[in-house]
Amino acid sequence: MKNYLSLFICIITCIFLTSCKPANNTTQGNKSMNQNQDVIALHFGEQGMQDFSKNSTTPVDRQPAGMNFLSLDWTLPKLGRVRVITEKSNLEIENVISVLGTQVARRSNDGIQIMDINASLHPNEYTTSQEAYTAYTKLVHQINDKQWKQYFLPFSARIDKQDNFKHMNETMGKVIDPTYILSFKEWQDILSETNRLVFNLYNGDAELSISLQQTYQDDKKEQYMVRYSFENFKYAGRNAISDTDKMNSEQLKQAFETEVANNKKARKTEENNMKKEGYHIDESYINPDIWPYVQ
């Protein structure tokens, strides 16, 4: 009996020591971080390079096309939390599956210029329509609390928010009034028609596209994925103009002003076409001044 008791104590001790052993949370290539971990702050520019370097063990993917990619990855059930910080605000994103930061190789001193983030809308991979709706309202509240504004591309028609529902139904879910939160019934009706919602926003030095898509549905469960695409205005503005790297400051300014004029002309044409389709134009909308970031 004494021998059996000693063996039992030995087994219990081993189990206890094993349970107390620190878990190895490292996944292949990247550091795996669970949902309860402190949020990871990600910046644009040189600080962004440091952020990725600190939180990822994956080497920089240097592509011949001139783009360098830095990445962070998580796997279910341990998803990530990140806060993308812009000049004047931020956006905190939960249930993150992956983050891809992009650096333009020929302008490496500019650091991170683009961030693409894939996330689940809900902490669980599959959820109910009501729980998904609650997660959607939480996202829209954050957009507005942190003062992300509607962004129209410089060459796009500035549709008035009174046509928000019409626009969503006719353009596969493109929202033009991010301040409006759909009711649960409106949420269900829009998704049954479009299968997604798309927000185009800006704040400070960055523009942001959010695409929320229903990727699965049956009688009992639903699945939603969200893609966040951030672009620094410095990259977006210069990328719209050819050969900016070969220009001096005066040439860049002239090329930028020409681009603005061309965009305004294209926008007016599109707005006239949209009016013929019954849309109203928001004449009070003012495009953000991105020149300070482009120069």
DSSP string across 153-168: -TTS--B-GGGHHHHH
pLDDT digits (tens, 9 = 90+) for 138-188: 999 999 999 999 999 999 999 999 999 999 999 999 999 999 999 999 999
Is 95 exposed, middle or buried (CB count within 10 Å of its CB: 0-12, 13-18, 19+)? buried
Q: What is the pLDDT of residue 38?
A: 79
Tokens of 64: 């011949």
What secondary structure letter does DSSP report for 245?
G
CA distances from 24 to 21, 28, 96, 99, 235 (A): 9, 11, 20, 22, 38
Q: Which residues pair with 119 in a beta bridge?
A: 96, 226
Q: Taking the model in full, what pTM does it have?
A: 0.86
CA atoms within 13 A on the CB side of 142: 15
- How distant, in Å, are the alpha carbons of 127, 134, 284 from that of 218? 11, 19, 43
In this prediction, residue 76 carries a pLDDT of 84
Beta bridge partners of 80: 96
Nearest-10 crossing angle of helices 184-194, 129-145:
100
What does the pLDDT read at residue 57?
83
| One-letter amino acid for residue 136 of the chain | Y
Sequence ranges of the domains in the chain = 40-294
Report the alpha-carbon distance of residue 91 to residue 101 in Å, rounded.
16
- CA dihedral sign, ordered 50, 53, 56, 60: positive
Residues 6+ apart with CB under 8 A from 26: 32, 57
Residue 241 near residue 283, CB atoms below 8 Å: no
Q: Which amino acid is at 245?
A: D
Name 167's Cβ contacts closer than 8 Å, sequence gap at least 6: 159, 174, 175, 176, 279
Question: How high is the pLDDT of residue 25?
Answer: 38
What does the pLDDT read at residue 3?
40
Task: Say whether the peptide bond before residue 77 is cis (omega within 30 degrees of 0).
Answer: yes
- pLDDT < 50 positions in the chain: 1-36
C-alpha Rg value of the chain to the nearest Å: 24
